């Protein structure tokens, strides 16, 4: 880690610690990416999910308000819009989440926008598609690209929950970082989708990994999981217009970077 970076490992649910760290650093901008991200965990433990994703966001907003800092909040796209949303989904589609995780993220967004109205702040919400890339934990609670790549590298058969026709919108980490930088530079309050606008099924993702690996991928199939959406893709024309941002990394190129990174032993640093 760069010696200029101070690391504090605390939970955003701990209001006093968050406020103390923010008061000590006095940042102009807080990029709020902390979250409970496992949809299955949110279904089994909705209270804990809300504590992290709703109360944690309020704590960040209050800490930011105490020093007059802006907040750039990373929300979700797919889990927010729901099963009946048009594909790709626009920002003004009525959110109808299918999981406690999606409900909590929507609630957190409402607090961000409330603070803009109530306190005159200029906070920003980015609704991210499924972000993937090197350094994503292959053994983590989420991140199907890294999980599948690690299983294929190890000679294992990846598990697909459901029939594999469910779709997601995948955005490479380098593109996501550019979106955060663009939003930070513009300093505009509001909500923007950050995605490719392209639906990719789990079966198609397995095929892409197979091509990258140069060998067949024969997945196992398991029952579908509760709370998971069947289709998702985000329309990002508003981000292109307002933030000058668009996804530029093709899925095969991004997946290849993840696969080679894991194949090389998942080094500490990765070329994003």
- Active-site annotation, residues: 101
Residue 259 CB neighbours (<10 A): 22
The token pair at 211 is 């091509």
What is the distance between the alpha carbons of residues 158 and 204, in angstroms, rounded to a whole number? 13
Q: Do 164 and 202 form a contact (C-beta atoms < 8 A)?
A: yes
The b-or-e profile of 6-27 (16+ CB within 10 A means b, else e) is eeeeeebbebeebbeebeeeee
Q: At what angle do helices 15-25 and 56-67 cross, to 10 degrees?
A: 30
């Amino acid at each position: 880690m760069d010696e200029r970076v101070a690391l504090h490992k605390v939970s955003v649910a701990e209001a006093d610690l968050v406020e103390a760290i923010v008061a000590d650093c006095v940042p102009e901008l807080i990029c709020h990416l902390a979250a409970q991200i496992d949809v299955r965990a949110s279904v089994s433990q909705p209270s804990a999910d809300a504590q992290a994703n709703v109360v944690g966001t309020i704590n960040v907003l209050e800490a930011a308000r105490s020093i007059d800092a802006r907040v750039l909040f990373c929300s979700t796209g797919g889990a927010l819009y729901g099963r009946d949303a048009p594909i790709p989904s626009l920002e003004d589609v009525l959110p109808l989440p299918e999981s406690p995780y999606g409900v909590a993220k929507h609630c957190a967004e409402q607090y961000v926008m409330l603070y803009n109205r109530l306190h005159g702040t200029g906070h920003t919400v980015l609704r991210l598609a499924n972000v993937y890339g090197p350094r994503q934990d292959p053994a983590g609670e989420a991140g199907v690209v890294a999980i599948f790549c690690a299983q294929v590298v190890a000679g294992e058969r990846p598990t697909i929950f459901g029939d594999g026709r469910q779709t997601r919108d995948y955005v490479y980490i380098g593109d996501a970082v550019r979106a955060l930088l663009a939003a930070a530079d513009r300093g505009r309050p509001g909500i923007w989708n950050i995605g490719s606008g392209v639906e990719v099924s789990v079966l198609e993702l397995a095929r892409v990994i197979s091509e990258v690996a140069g060998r067949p991928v024969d997945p196992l199939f398991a029952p579908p999981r509760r709370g998971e959406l069947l289709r998702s893709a985000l329309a990002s024309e508003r981000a292109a217009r307002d933030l000058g941002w668009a996804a530029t990394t093709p899925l095969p190129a991004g997946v290849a970077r993840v696969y080679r990174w894991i194949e090389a032993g998942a080094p500490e640093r990765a070329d994003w």
